[in-house]
Structure 1
């Protein structure tokens, strides 16, 4: 599932980050974790969806005063979003897959623990991202997602197995409440 790149060290334009080809997802997720941990004031950034934007809250316009999570999606080699199961509090449905994550920890170079985020629409109702047969991701449903809720489910991944990352939003989920 990895991108099969050779590791070659280069220096990034981001202060203090040394990247290797094939490790860019690791570096981005590490940067997201640092940004979430820092939560500092912001200048106006040039690119509004750059995963390296600081501080947390910089992905929304105008920047939110309070944000504790940078929501992102990981993309597999074929460009499809990576999906993970989460425990849903509503036990009567089967719409418990998501493509949205919050980084909780990064360790051993390029492994990460990600919290699976429940996708919700503008009416705060959960969005079922799986097709009617329950077998594939319905990409059109991703467009209905407007917000997120914390789930109790986490997944540990090898970040070397992904070829892309897309930062979606900075939101307040009340992580420490």
Structure 2
């Protein structure tokens, strides 16, 4: 029922298999890949969310990775943003569009960890416009690294129309 569609128009059947929640399937696959963290040959398409193993999105060479960073896109194509608790109390850059899946449950719900966006100098990137109400899409291009935040959000994955895998990174996640 994502993207404002009803169940009948968003469901198709291929070889008797019901397919109606592609974002759910992708996020489940990312979770499985993160959990596996095994080595494999180089993939053909370097930004496919289904690439295995974790580390497959890393270019030009692989390194240890424990997180597949992704963005969710809303019906109008803009990145979904979420608030996170910022440890730096002197600024206001506490929104992000980057996530790590922590859990998938009840069919198509997920707990996502909000990732703090960092530039190539490991400084926080403020993704909001000057007035602080809208996303500054140019600022997203400055993001080169990520840090775990202590904030998680629970979402209904049916509410999103797209997912874009961004990078495989090592964030030293405790499992």
Q: TM-score, normalised by structure 1?
A: 0.92
The answer to whether the 8 A contact 1:72-1:168 is kept is: yes
Counterpart Cα distance in 2 of 1:93 and 1:170? 28
Counterpart Cα distance in 2 of 1:3 and 1:170? 27
The answer to whether the 8 A contact 1:56-1:69 is kept is: yes
Q: Which runs of 4+ in 1 moved over 4 A?
A: none
Helix, strand or coil at the partner of 1:3: helix
Counterpart Cα distance in 1 of 2:172 and 2:115? 13
The answer to whether the 8 A contact 1:59-1:170 is kept is: yes
Q: TM-score, normalised by structure 2?
A: 0.93
Counterpart Cα distance in 1 of 2:29 and 2:43? 16
Residue of 40, 44, 48 corresponding to 2:38: 40
The alpha carbon displacement at 1:119 in A equals 0.2
Count of aligned pairs: 171
Q: Does 1:20 align with 2:23?
A: no
Structure 1 stretches lacking a partner, 5+ long: 13-17
Task: Tell me what 1:60 maps to.
Answer: 58
The alpha carbon displacement at 1:102 in A equals 0.1
Task: Tell me what 1:4 maps to.
Answer: 4
The alpha carbon displacement at 1:173 in A equals 0.2
**Superposition RMSD on alpha carbons, in Å?**
1.7
Task: Tell me what 1:15 maps to.
Answer: none
